[in-house]
């Protein structure tokens, strides 16, 4: 496994004895350095160059004098890779990236006292397993969402209620089912097995021992027969559902909204088993060359207006309580269940799988993320 | 100035050194050096959780690649795609180039060359996406031909589309250089057009075709974007490299996978070099 | 002109235009079976174009091409019983010499065994035994020329077309090949149509010569006819060196109006009788010496004299001399300079 | 060549089909730039010019275009210098390893872009990174130039082969120094080859995405990267089509110019 | 051999090897100021290589090159006071004719005005006034040749090197240009070193000729010396056509052992006295007729006779004839075939 052989300086024990490199948080805010290098999900950092009315960067730049250089990453894995280069200051990391960044020493703890907007963040998002270690926060929560099940209402009848719709080997929609193209999707299978195969005793879809993992992989290999294509960018997903190349599969709320807006007969549900999901956190690089601008950015992006802007443009639930009052669509927070903690109870946020099982088991080793990655290759064949 | 010229005149080796030093520094030291380091790193491993590279010699990556069936399958699939794309490009490019070089009037030749070159400037991504639309359910291809939809055939088709100009150009250049008198001699000796084509044109064209194939073959072998857009659930070797480096940050494993296309291409280049293909690019 | 019943080749009213250029502007010609026929003429006079129409590479704009009495005007090259030796040889670079020679037989599906045998034989007839395995690139110019010849001859065509086959060779080699070509033609006995712009070559090799000028035939006849009795000043000037006299000079020298030509080798230098003049230049050229004489009559004349056993030069530079010639060697050139010759 | 009429017609048909094959997707791009639908539903149900105005107002696209042109010019300039130098060395000298030079020069383009990309990326980070030079425009240019050298090399080499050394000798014979000979004779003679090779190099760089992905630093967005980012986000794909349509139309200009300046050979060049 | 105090060119022990090939294998030569000097020899005999070493394009493997007494062996071409007319003319295709001619002056920074004047003058001297604005591509072969000449002459070099300058021209044009070249050389009075493989050209134009064989000079001398008194059978064979007799034939014909050569134009055909033989071939060649005679002595002889005013052929094919010649025209060829000539 990948036990912590790091030795030396360490602050606190990580999952299963992993140690977190000791990195100091920024003590006090200084003057901005003039620029900040950002890694983000598409749509998180808009400066009006895409659409004049969508801009929460220009104002920030004017106000702080920090020029924003944004690099868009397609997947969590890319984000980790980019942050490892040390060329970036802040990142909008999802839960399956954040721990890797923390334990890799790529990001520093965050001094939340320096973020005036931190106090308005939903408590349900603070100090979670994916954004803190031993109560030390490593970032500012940005927003969250669930990986839903979308289907075309004209072809998929009766309407599905369970993930079984995408795993049924006898599915009438064989060849038109889609799934998210990332190793983390193994968790979706695990979640399904957790509910349908209690004998496997899965407690957390991100903590899978050999047998559990094998069962999930087998299920996905079987599912591969049904898959038309895997998706990772949402234009592709929208277009596939509109054209009918895909009729059933995972989605994000925003994709569903777009597809509907384009007039395609689709619907998305949170299946009975619950779902995986994401909760993103802005984190600051341990090697940040522009730490002050990075803090200014983090504070800005979770401010009610900017946070509302992102949440609406991207299509997710905002992290700041006050954002719900700032959205152009008054129903935005309702649509995305922003204040519905019960809804998010059913959501297993993306978390990086580790060798030391994060569900607390000590007697077995779990499959770590590199195993998940290699398994994903095998699943796709 | 003149004295230097005179000195250099007497010392041709010095002139040669002057010409070669900068390019070789670039290509050998920088490029080959970078490649070598990459290939060496294939023997390292990575800490699965933190993503730190562990510089310890290990054959583990290669063991995985050689034992896991999926890597063999993907490698063979990629090879098949590259070969199929190349064959399609040859089949389409040769008659087109022939028309351009030997049939079309000299004036229109000009415009035909422009017509072949222009698409090189249209973004690769945009073209791939246009194909995604063409290939969609109930899209134009589906309506006209009832398929092929997204998947391996679509990948081959679209890659062939992408690299076709890279095949047409060297073949056209080769045909332009081919003296008409050879074709006339063949006809004179009793050969019909088809025979002339098989016995005279094609063999002489082989270096040019190989030159074009370096593009069609290698660009197909390494592609991971087209296949994501129109390949359905297909994955090729480029996707695996990308998944491991661009995504999983496992440089050693990515490097190990990358040795496969590198090996294939180097063998391919060495093979076609004998035909003189590298001079025809 | 030779009387020909069924000629190997008959061209009737043959024309070819490339856009505005009349490359061939009306050619009528009959070439007998077994003849060694040369087409002589300056660059651009249409020789190659005529040859290409006979071979079938070019469709005539007007007129017909008959081979052995059969109209082939619109047949493809591979349907005609003629073969060509190209000026640049057009050997297939990717085939060995033997494969080149076998090619015509192969496309005609001659059995491998016979093919091989005939090819070897053809190579032997051009004295290239043992070279079959080489590539054309590894042969010298003269050797390539012979491969091209063998490649054409092996098909036993009725007619062999040769477009300046010796043009690329150097002088010595060229002279050798002239002799060889002539010998081979005699041996195989087929009709040769030989294009050249070297008059010496045309005169020494041919049974008959057609002199081309601007897309037309200026004169056809045996070497002697063309050389000794040129029908135009163009022919007189192009075939061999000629002293051409006109106007006042003509009147003084010949007491007549008109254009007259006398060949340099037909003029004698004498001490006292004949047309007076001064030697302007004496050029020693090995086998002959050339005397350039400024005639008092107002023109320049060249006299060529063989350096025979009697050795000494006939005159020195600056010397006063007299030139004489026999009446029979005065060629009067008809006033209409250009006309179409009919064979 | 002597071809039967049917053969001519068959070839003409293949050419026409081939051109159709090449141009139908491009036409689709053009149509879709007016397609009211955001993800190009087919057939388009309404037409609009709003993507064109959106594209016009899109600073990002303009900035990216500028970046790409800069990167392309930089890479092309380096490729021109290096490619010409190697071509001269190979054509004018005999030396050990001369036969492997062509192999070395094609390698960067023949190896998959992702291999070139990650090799240069990790090398850059370990060497330049230590020197404190981070990735940016310069690293993109370096990456592109590496695989662009071959196009210049091949064009210049072919030209040098064809022109031989006679004219340069004539120049030296007439008293010109090496520099004068290059300026007055050699350069004008290889100019069209440089143009052809340079044009192709520029086109390769201009459309390169994979190598760029790995060699671009933060804050540098080339047009392909911009397209990549925008193609995969909502509301933006049609704007990408507008940009692509504009590019296709604009690209005729350099190609046509090159053909005018350097004759039909130039545009065709040697890939 | 001419006595030369400070020759325009002196080559001493000149050698050049390309890998295993000895292109030039030891040449010693002195060329006088103002001479028209030709280098004659078969293809590959090293003529061009010698010229290139004089011009400075090639560094000798051994030996020295002196120009007007100065050792220039290791100087660059642009440091030598010689100019070259290349076989393919090497005109700069991207410059006009005038720019071509001006080039040498331009790189030497001659003022624009003077440059223009001298170039126009040079063009006039080769009879190309008014052609300055054209591109070389728009000129005929002969015109290009003259441009090349003007481009070299305008620099007023001490020595002009000409590498087969007429090789690419067709026969008629070539003869014209031979005359013009000679006239120009006389006018400008500078040393011409003229490379050719055409013996006729060499003989008619030169003050002296060097005959090359396999990288060495086989003989140097005036045209007459080389033609009439060849010092080896190679020279006899290469310069003009020669009848070479050896062994038994020699014994029968000359009653001596050895190698003997008699020129075809020095042989007479007579009815009854002389060496008997049979006419194998009669070839009419316009100005002359060639008779090939199979001698009873066992060899073949070629006889050339001018077709003079007295017209009729001397013999017919198959006829029995006798050949006679004067003793002074029998050239005995020294037994050592190849030797190095020293000038
Ligand atoms: N394919 C062509 N297109 C246009 N013009 C042509 C073509 N072929 C020949 N011509 C022109 O036709 C005329 C006759 O050319 P042709 O080649 O028959 O002359 P030629 O007597 O063979 O000359 P040469 O001795 O130079 O070979 C020339 O003016 C030539 O430029
Ligand atoms: N650059 C070179 N590399 C190798 N061999 C060469 C080179 N230049 C000349 N040679 C060889 O040197 C010999 C002499 O060549 P050179 O060109 O001097 O002959 P030449 O007398 O000028 O012949 P030609 O009449 O064909 O021009 C030939 O065997 C030739 O192949
Ligand atoms: N190995 C680098 C290959 C670069 C080729 N890029 C092709 C882009 C398509 N125009
Ligand atoms: Mg011709
Ligand atoms: Mg030579």
Q: Which residue of D9, D21, D22, D223 to mutate against B (max B Cβ within 10 Å)? A: D22
Q: Give me the CATH number covering residue E293.
A: 2.40.50.140
Percent of chain B with pLDDT over 90: 35
Please indicate, yes or no, whether residues C140 and C252 belong to a single structural domain of this protein: no
The full length of chain C comes to 343
The residues facing C312 across adjacent strands are none
Min Cα distance A342 → chain B (Å) is 32
Is residue D153 classed as helix, strand or coil in its secondary structure? helix
In this complex, does chain E touch chain B, defined as having at least 3 beta-carbon pairs under 8 Å apart? yes
The full length of chain D comes to 271
The number of the ligand nearest the C-alpha atom of E212 reads 2
Please indicate, yes or no, whether residues E127 and E266 belong to a single structural domain of this protein: no
Structural domain ending residue among the three candidates E210, E236, E262: E236
Q: Which two tokens stand for residue E67?
A: 């120009």
Partners of B158 on chain A (C-beta within 8 Å) are: none
In this complex, does chain C touch chain A, defined as having at least 3 beta-carbon pairs under 8 Å apart? no
- The partner residue sitting opposite A87, judged by closest CB among D40, D135, D236, is D135
Mutate to test the pocket of ligand 3, among D210, D212, D223, D248 (most ligand atoms within 8 A of CB): D210
Residue E167 CB less than 6 A away from ligand 2: no
Please indicate, yes or no, whether residues C196 and C224 belong to a single structural domain of this protein: yes
Partners of B103 on chain D (C-beta within 8 Å) are: 3, 8, 11-12
Task: Choose between D53 and D142: higher pLDDT.
Answer: D142
Partners of E75 on chain B (C-beta within 8 Å) are: 6, 9
Cβ atoms of residues A100 and A352 within 8 Å: yes
pLDDT class for C339, splitting at 50, 70, 90? very low
pTM: 0.84
| E1 found inside a domain | no
Q: Give me the CATH number covering residue C191.
A: 3.40.50.300
- Atom of ligand 1 minimally distant from the CA of C197: 25
Q: What is the DSSP string of B137-176?
A: TTSHHHHHH----SSHHHHHHHHHHHHHHHHHHHHHHHHH
Please indicate, yes or no, whether residues E223 and E288 belong to a single structural domain of this protein: no
CA B208 distance to own-chain centroid = 13
* Structure confidence by residue, pLDDT tens digits, C79-99: 999 999 998 899 999 999 999
| C242 found inside a domain | no
Q: Judge whether residue B157 has pLDDT over 70.
A: yes
Contacting residues for D77 by C-beta, under 8 A, at least 6 apart: none
Is residue C268 classed as helix, strand or coil in its secondary structure? strand
CA of D75 to the centre of ligand 3 (A): 13
| C153 found inside a domain | yes
Please indicate, yes or no, whether residues C227 and C265 belong to a single structural domain of this protein: no
Partners of D167 on chain E (C-beta within 8 Å) are: 90, 92
Atom 5 of ligand 1, nearest CA residue: C18
- pLDDT tens, N- to C-terminus, chain E (343 residues): 444 578 999 999 999 999 888 999 999 999 999 999 999 998 889 999 999 999 999 999 999 999 999 999 999 999 999 999 998 889 999 999 999 999 999 999 999 999 999 999 999 888 888 899 999 988 888 889 889 999 998 998 989 999 988 877 777 778 888 888 888 888 888 999 999 888 889 999 999 999 999 999 999 999 999 998 898 888 988 888 888 898 888 888 888 888 898 999 999 998 888 899 999 988 888 888 999 999 998 888 999 999 887 767 778 889 999 999 988 888 888 876 444 444 3
Q: Which residue of D11, D23, D25 to mutate against B (max B Cβ within 10 Å)? A: D25
Please indicate, yes or no, whether residues E230 and E252 belong to a single structural domain of this protein: no
| E339 found inside a domain | no
Distance CA A113, CA A190 (A): 38
- Residue C324 belongs to what domain range? 248-332
Q: Which one of A362-366, C7-11, D38-42 scores highest in mean pLDDT? A: C7-11
Which is nearest to D82 in space by CA: D14, D10, D26, D149? D149
Q: For A86-90, A117-121, B220-224, B247-251, which range has the lowest pLDDT when averaged over its residues?
A: B247-251
Q: Which residue of B126, B193, B238, B268 to mutate against D (max D Cβ within 10 Å)? A: B126
Please indicate, yes or no, whether residues C66 and C166 belong to a single structural domain of this protein: yes
CB within 8 Å: B6 and E59: no
Q: Judge whether residue D270 has pLDDT over 50.
A: no
Q: Does C322 touch chain E (CB under 8 A)?
A: no
Vertex A52, ends A50 and A53: CA angle to 5°?
115
Partners of B189 on chain C (C-beta within 8 Å) are: 78, 83, 103-104, 107, 151-152, 155
* Structure confidence by residue, pLDDT tens digits, D205-263: 998 999 998 888 766 889 998 888 777 766 667 788 888 888 888 877 777 777 676 55
Domains identified in chain D and CATH numbers: 58-231 (1.10.3720.10)
Contacting residues for A289 by C-beta, under 8 A, at least 6 apart: A33, A37, A89
| E340 found inside a domain | no
- Atom of ligand 3 minimally distant from the CA of D115: 1
* Structure confidence by residue, pLDDT tens digits, B56-74: 888 888 888 888 889 999 9
Residue E45 CB less than 6 A away from ligand 2: yes
Partners of C56 on chain D (C-beta within 8 Å) are: 2
Q: What is the phi-psi region of residue A82: left when phi exceeds 0, alpha when psi lies from -120 to 50, beta otherwise?
A: alpha
- What residue of C is the nearest CA neighbor of E182? C283
Structural domain ending residue among the three candidates C212, C236, C260: C236
Name the average pLDDT for chain B. 87
CATH class of B69-275: mainly alpha
Residue D37 CB less than 6 A away from ligand 3: no
Q: What is the mean pLDDT of residues D67-88?
A: 95
Structural domain ending residue among the three candidates C189, C213, C236: C236
- Residues of B in CB contact (< 8 Å) with E are 2, 5-6, 9-10
* Structure confidence by residue, pLDDT tens digits, C104-118: 999 999 999 999 999
Distance CA A121, CA A125 (A): 7
**Per-residue model confidence (pLDDT) at position A295:** 95
Please indicate, yes or no, whether residues C87 and C155 belong to a single structural domain of this protein: yes
Domain count, chain E: 2
Residue E39 CB less than 6 A away from ligand 2: no
Contacting residues for C96 by C-beta, under 8 A, at least 6 apart: C132, C133, C134, C135
Atom 1 of ligand 2, nearest CA residue: E18
CB within 8 Å: D59 and A49: yes
**Per-residue model confidence (pLDDT) at position E208:** 96
Atom 6 of ligand 1, nearest CA residue: C18
Contacting residues for D149 by C-beta, under 8 A, at least 6 apart: B23, B26, B27, D78, D79, D82, D83, D86, D105, D108, D201
| C222 found inside a domain | yes
CB within 8 Å: D232 and A42: yes
Q: Does E187 touch chain D (CB under 8 A)?
A: no
CB within 8 Å: B2 and E79: yes
Cβ atoms of residues A163 and A274 within 8 Å: no
**Per-residue model confidence (pLDDT) at position C44:** 86
DSSP state of A353: -
CA E58 distance to own-chain centroid = 22
Please indicate, yes or no, whether residues E229 and E278 belong to a single structural domain of this protein: no
- Segments of chain A scoring below 70 in pLDDT: 1-18, 49-51
| E243 found inside a domain | no
Please indicate, yes or no, whether residues C80 and C221 belong to a single structural domain of this protein: yes
Please indicate, yes or no, whether residues C28 and C172 belong to a single structural domain of this protein: yes
Partners of D2 on chain C (C-beta within 8 Å) are: 56-57, 76-77
The full length of chain E comes to 343
Q: Which residue of A224, A366, A373 to mutate against B (max B Cβ within 10 Å)? A: A373
| E18 found inside a domain | yes
Distance CA A370, CA D44 (A): 44
Please indicate, yes or no, whether residues E255 and E288 belong to a single structural domain of this protein: yes
**Per-residue model confidence (pLDDT) at position E340:** 43
**Per-residue model confidence (pLDDT) at position A91:** 95
Q: What is the mean pLDDT of residues B183-211?
A: 90
Cβ atoms of residues E161 and E51 within 8 Å: yes
Cβ atoms of residues E188 and E149 within 8 Å: no
Cβ atoms of residues B234 and B224 within 8 Å: no
* Structure confidence by residue, pLDDT tens digits, C26-58: 999 999 999 999 999 988 899 999 999 999 999
């Amino acid at each position: 496994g990948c036990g912590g052989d790091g030795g030396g300086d360490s602050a606190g024990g990580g999952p299963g004895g992993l140690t977190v490199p000791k990195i100091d948080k920024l003590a006090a805010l200084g003057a901005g350095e003039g620029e900040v290098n950002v890694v983000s999900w598409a749509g998180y950092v808009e400066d009006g160059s895409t659409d004049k009315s969508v801009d929460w960067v220009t104002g920030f730049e004017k106000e702080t004098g920090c020029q924003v250089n944004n690099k868009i990453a397609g997947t969590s894995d890319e984000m980790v890779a980019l942050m490892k280069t040390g060329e970036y200051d802040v990142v909008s990391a999802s839960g399956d990236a954040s721990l890797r960044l923390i334990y890799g020493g790529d990001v520093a703890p965050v001094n939340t006292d320096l973020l005036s907007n931190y106090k308005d963040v939903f408590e349900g998002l603070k100090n979670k397993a994916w954004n803190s270690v031993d109560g030390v926060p490593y970032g500012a929560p940005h927003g969250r969402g669930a990986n839903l099940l979308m289907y075309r209402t004209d072809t998929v009848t009766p309407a599905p209620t369970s993930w079984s719709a995408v795993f049924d080997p006898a599915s009438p929609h064989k060849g038109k089912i889609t799934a998210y193209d990332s190793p983390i999707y193994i968790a979706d299978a695990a979640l399904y097995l957790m509910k349908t195969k209690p004998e496997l005793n899965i407690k957390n879809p991100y903590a899978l021992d050999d047998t559990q993992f094998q069962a999930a992989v087998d299920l996905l290999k079987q599912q591969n027969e049904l898959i038309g294509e895997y998706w990772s960018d949402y234009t592709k997903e929208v277009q596939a559902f509109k054209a009918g190349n895909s009729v059933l599969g995972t989605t994000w709320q925003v994709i569903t909204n777009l597809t509907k807006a384009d007039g395609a007969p689709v619907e998305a549900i949170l299946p009975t088993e619950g779902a995986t999901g994401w909760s993103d956190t802005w984190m600051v690089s341990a090697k940040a060359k522009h730490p002050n601008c990075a803090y200014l950015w983090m504070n800005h992006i979770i401010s009610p207006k900017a946070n509302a802007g992102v949440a609406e443009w991207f299509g997710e639930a905002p992290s700041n309580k006050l954002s719900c009052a700032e959205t152009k669509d008054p129903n935005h927070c309702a649509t995305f269940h922003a204040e519905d903690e019960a809804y998010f109870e059913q959501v297993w946020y993306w978390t990086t799988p580790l060798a030391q099982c994060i569900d607390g088991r000590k007697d077995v080793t779990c499959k770590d993320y590199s195993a998940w990655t290699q398994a994903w290759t095998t699943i796709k064949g | 100035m003149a004295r230097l010229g005179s000195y250099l005149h007497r010392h041709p080796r010095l002139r040669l050194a002057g010409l070669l030093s900068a390019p070789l520094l670039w290509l050998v030291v920088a490029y080959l050096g970078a490649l070598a380091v990459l290939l060496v790193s294939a023997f390292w491993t990575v800490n699965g959780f933190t993503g730190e590279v562990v510089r310890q010699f290990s054959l583990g990556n290669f063991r995985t690649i050689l034992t896991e069936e999926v890597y063999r399958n993907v490698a063979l699939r990629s090879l098949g795609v590259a070969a199929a794309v190349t064959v399609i490009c040859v089949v389409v490019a040769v008659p087109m180039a022939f028309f351009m070089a030997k049939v079309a009037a000299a004036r229109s030749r000009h415009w035909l060359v422009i017509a072949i070159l222009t698409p090189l400037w249209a973004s690769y991504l945009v073209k791939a996406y246009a194909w995604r639309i063409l290939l969609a359910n109930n899209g134009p291809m589906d309506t006209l031909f009832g398929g092929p939809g997204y998947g391996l055939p679509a990948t081959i088709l679209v890659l062939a589309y992408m690299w076709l100009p890279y095949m047409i150009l060297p073949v056209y250049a080769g045909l332009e250089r081919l003296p008409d008198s050879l074709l006339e001699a063949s006809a004179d000796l009793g050969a019909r057009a088809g025979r002339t084509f098989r016995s005279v044109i094609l063999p002489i064209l082989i270096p040019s075709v190989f030159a074009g194939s370096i593009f069609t073959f290698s660009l197909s072998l390494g592609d991971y974007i087209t296949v994501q857009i129109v390949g359905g659930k297909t994955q090729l070797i480029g996707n695996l490299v990308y998944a491991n480096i661009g995504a999983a940050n496992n440089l050693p494993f990515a490097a190990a996978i990358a040795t496969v296309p590198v090996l294939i291409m180097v063998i391919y280049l060495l093979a076609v070099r004998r035909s003189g293909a590298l001079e025809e690019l | 002109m030779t009387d020909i019943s069924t000629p190997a080749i008959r061209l009737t009213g043959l024309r070819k235009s490339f856009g505005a250029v009349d490359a061939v502007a009306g050619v009528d010609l009959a070439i007998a079976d077994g003849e060694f026929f040369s087409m002589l003429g300056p660059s651009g006079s249409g020789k190659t174009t005529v040859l290409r129409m006979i071979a079938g590479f070019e469709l005539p704009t007007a007129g017909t091409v008959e081979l052995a009495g059969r109209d082939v005007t619109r047949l493809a090259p591979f349907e005609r019983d003629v073969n060509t030796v190209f000026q640049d040889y057009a050997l297939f670079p990717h085939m060995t010499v033997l494969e080149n020679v076998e090619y015509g037989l192969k496309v005609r599906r001659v059995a491998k065994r016979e093919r091989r045998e005939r090819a070897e034989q053809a190579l032997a007839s051009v004295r290239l035994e043992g070279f079959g395995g080489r590539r054309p690139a590894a042969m010298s110019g003269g050797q390539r020329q012979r491969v091209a010849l063998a490649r054409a001859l092996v098909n036993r065509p009725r007619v062999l077309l040769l477009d300046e086959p010796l043009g690329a060779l150097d002088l010595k080699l060229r002279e050798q090949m002239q002799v060889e070509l002539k010998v081979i033609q005699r041996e195989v006995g087929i009709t040769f149509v030989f294009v050249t712009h070297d008059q010496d070559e045309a005169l020494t090799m041919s049974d008959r010569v057609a002199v081309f000028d601007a897309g037309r035939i200026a004169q056809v006849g045996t070497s002697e006819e063309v050389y000794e009795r040129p029908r135009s000043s163009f022919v007189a000037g192009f075939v061999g060196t000629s002293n051409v006299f006109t106007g006042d000079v003509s009147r003084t020298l010949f007491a007549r109006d008109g254009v007259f030509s006398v060949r340099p080798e037909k003029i004698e230098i004498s001490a006292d009788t004949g047309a007076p003049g001064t030697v302007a230049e004496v050029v020693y050229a090995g086998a002959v010496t050339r005397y350039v004489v400024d005639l008092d009559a107002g023109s320049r004349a060249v006299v060529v004299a063989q350096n025979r056993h009697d050795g000494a030069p006939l005159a020195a530079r600056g010397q006063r001399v007299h030139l004489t010639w026999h009446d029979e060697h005065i060629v009067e050139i008809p006033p209409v300079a250009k006309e179409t010759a009919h064979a | 060549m002597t071809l039967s009429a049917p053969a001519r017609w068959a070839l003409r048909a293949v050419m026409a089909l081939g051109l159709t094959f090449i141009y139908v997707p491009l036409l689709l791009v053009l149509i879709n730039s007016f397609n009211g639908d955001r993800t190009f539903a087919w057939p388009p149900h309404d037409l609009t010019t709003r993507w064109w105005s959106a594209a016009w107002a899109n600073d990002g696209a303009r900035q990216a275009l500028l970046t790409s042109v800069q990167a392309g010019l930089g890479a092309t300039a380096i490729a021109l210098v290096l490619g010409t130098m190697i071509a001269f060395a190979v054509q004018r000298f005999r030396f050990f390893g001369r036969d492997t030079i062509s192999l070395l020069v094609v390698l960067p383009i023949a190896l998959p872009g992702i291999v070139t990309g990650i090799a240069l990326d990790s090398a850059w980070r370990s060497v330049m990174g230590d020197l404190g030079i981070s990735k940016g425009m310069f690293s993109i240019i370096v990456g592109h130039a590496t695989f662009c050298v071959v196009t210049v090399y091949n064009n210049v080499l072919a030209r040098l082969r064809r022109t031989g050394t006679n004219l340069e000798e004539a120049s030296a014979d007439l008293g010109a120094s090496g520099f004068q000979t290059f300026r007055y004779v050699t350069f004008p003679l290889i100019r069209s080859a440089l143009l052809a090779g340079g044009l192709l190099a520029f086109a390769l760089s201009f459309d390169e995405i994979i190598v760029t992905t790995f060699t671009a630093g933060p804050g540098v967005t080339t047009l392909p990267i911009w397209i990549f980012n925008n193609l995969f986000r909502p509301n933006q794909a049609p704007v990408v089509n507008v940009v692509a349509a504009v590019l296709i139309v604009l690209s005729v200009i350099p190609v046509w110019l090159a053909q005018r300046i350097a004759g039909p050979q130039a545009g065709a060049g040697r890939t």
